[in-house]
Amino acid sequence: MTVNAPLCFTGKKILAPMVRVGTLPMRLLALDYGADIVYCEELIDIKMLQCKRVINEVLETVDFVAPNERVVFRTCERERHHVVFQMGSADAERALAVAKLVETDVAGIDINMGCPKEYSTKGGMGAALLSDPDKIESILTTLVKGICKPVTCKIRILPSVEDTVNLVKRIEKTGIAAIAVHGRKKEERPQHPVHCDVIKAISEAVSIPVIANGGSHDFIKEYTDIETFQKATAASSVMIARAAMWNPSIFRKEGLFPLKEVMQDYIKYAVRYDNHYTNTKYCLCQMLREQLETTQGKKLHAAQSTQEICEVFEMADFYEETTAVFEAKKASLETETQDEDDQMEDPDVIKMAVRFDKREYPPQITPKMYLLEWCRKEKHPQPVYETVQRPLDKLFCSVVTVAEQKYRSTLWDKSKKLAEQAAAIVCLRTLGVPEGKLCEGENHLINKRKREDQESLNNRDHGEDLAEPSHKKANFIEETSDMNVPKVPR
């Protein structure tokens, strides 16, 4: 496939992928200070494949949201042509599926082949891939052929220079755009010297750009040191991790900003993009380092919300102003959405403002069951539910069709099931049919179930087949659809 407007990996200053650090606020701050390319933290393929892509109209971001509603990856237009998505994967097809999921929102895709941590290696990912060149080749070749964006990988060096160079040459043949090399072996730690000679040997052995990484401890203390490290490794570009984590203004040609100013700039992005306070707190603690025992450091450590973090850094007014803007924007969008809903309304739909509260019903008895029972009794086709999800707040609304008449609740619910139950209630109340509430007295469905349970027990006593007849089970099974819930058109 043809690569469209690919990233250039020559002569670049790059923010390295760092777990818990490389979230959106840090990436944007690094770009502001002069970074050319920013890598997100490693995100695991299986976790990403569970996510849905959601447009966040309030924050003006693209969010990849897990089933538990946690934002796994958040990005925005500001970084779209600069951010490389790094994933952890040990499977070519899964890697490709994730790459296709995010490719329109990022500038490149990277496979982590250097992380020595157990959470990465135990699944055959990270540094574990270094001992399986066939799998490396499979993953990278599949990605290069399968997506339009440039593909890179990040490795550590092997025990010998010869083995490392041979592996990199094999990787080069997959067609990747660049390779990042952390100049340490997988068992070595930051305090060990970085092996500039090995990175240099790699740089001289291949034609693709080599990105040198691992110089924070020995080399990079200020901007001019970046060039020194690049020359020592003969690399095309330099990737910076811990030096940028401590002070992301390391990317400034004009020199480092005072840490207080850097932390305030970081907090502004954290508030602006609704970063989770625990992640914000972690990154600020990495910047404070030896100052964690100061009064300010102790207050930061005790903070339990973004608002409290802002108070520690005398930014309470900024927090209140920004959140007020977001609340106003959210209210405006909700009004627009409601107006759109009203315009979409079918005048023939019968509506009521109702919600399903399971506490008002006997266990395992629902309005949908009652409606299904009524349709069978009256010889109508079974109810048909059509459910939509609103993008702004992710709430659901369902319309049920019974005997060619449509019914719905005007209230939106937090789940598809609740929305369908509410629609069933509207239909039952309109028809004047009992819906199964506890306050309605004797419940014929419960009595019916008791009778059939007793029949089952009697059959068991007589040694008959214990399986309940399927036609009896059907009386108590709510017909539900496995179809994906469509979004409300915008």
DSSP type of residue 294: S
**pLDDT of 11 over the 70 cut:** yes
pLDDT value for 437:
86
Please answer whether residues 89 and 125 qualify as being in contact, where contact means their C-beta atoms are separated by less than 8 angstroms: yes
Q: Give the sign of the dihedral formed by CA 364, CA 368, CA 373, CA 376.
A: negative
Catalytic status, residue 76: no
Please answer whether residues 180 and 211 qualify as being in contact, where contact means their C-beta atoms are separated by less than 8 angstroms: yes
- Both structure tokens of 347: 């005048």
pLDDT value for 4:
43
Structure confidence by residue, pLDDT tens digits, 137-180: 999 999 999 999 999 999 999 999 999 999 999 999 999 999 99
**pLDDT of 489 over the 50 cut:** no
Reference 370, options 427, 436, 422; nearest CA is 436
Distances (CA, A) of 364 to 41, 408, 435, 439, 448: 44, 22, 13, 16, 13
Spatial strand order in the sheet of 396-402: 350-352, 405-409, 396-402, 384-389
Spatial strand order in the sheet of 52-56: 52-56, 61-65, 71-75
**pLDDT of 468 over the 90 cut:** no
Structure confidence by residue, pLDDT tens digits, 270-292: 999 999 999 999 999 999 998 99
- Both structure tokens of 39: 């890598």
Structure confidence by residue, pLDDT tens digits, 236-261: 999 999 999 999 999 999 999 999 99
Cα dihedral 103/108/113/119 (nearest 10): -50
Residues 6+ apart with CB under 8 A from 97: 45, 49
Residues 6+ apart with CB under 8 A from 125: 44, 88, 89, 90, 112, 115
**pLDDT of 475 over the 80 cut:** no
Mean pLDDT rounded to a whole number for the chain: 89
pLDDT value for 290:
87
Residues of 368-403 as b/e, b for ≥16 C-beta within 10 angstroms?
Answer: bbbbbbbbeeeeeeebebbbbbbbbeebbbbbbbbe
Please answer whether residues 88 and 109 qualify as being in contact, where contact means their C-beta atoms are separated by less than 8 angstroms: no
Q: Give the sign of the dihedral formed by CA 227, CA 231, CA 232, CA 238.
A: positive
Structure confidence by residue, pLDDT tens digits, 56-101: 989 999 999 998 889 999 999 999 999 999 999 999 999 999 999 9
Please answer whether residues 49 and 100 qualify as being in contact, where contact means their C-beta atoms are separated by less than 8 angstroms: no
Reference 419, options 447, 439, 395, 443; nearest CA is 395
Cα angle value 483/484/485 (rounded, 5°): 115
Give the rounded distance of the alpha carbon of 353 from its chain centre: 34
Burial of 14 (0-12, 13-18, 19+ CB in 10 A): buried
pLDDT category of residue 454 using cuts at 50, 70 and 90: low
- Residue-wise DSSP of 209-228: -EEEE--TTTT-SSHHHHHH
pLDDT value for 346:
77
Mean pLDDT of 170-197: 95
**pLDDT of 484 over the 50 cut:** no
pTM for the whole structure: 0.72
Catalytic option among 115, 153, 283, 397: 115
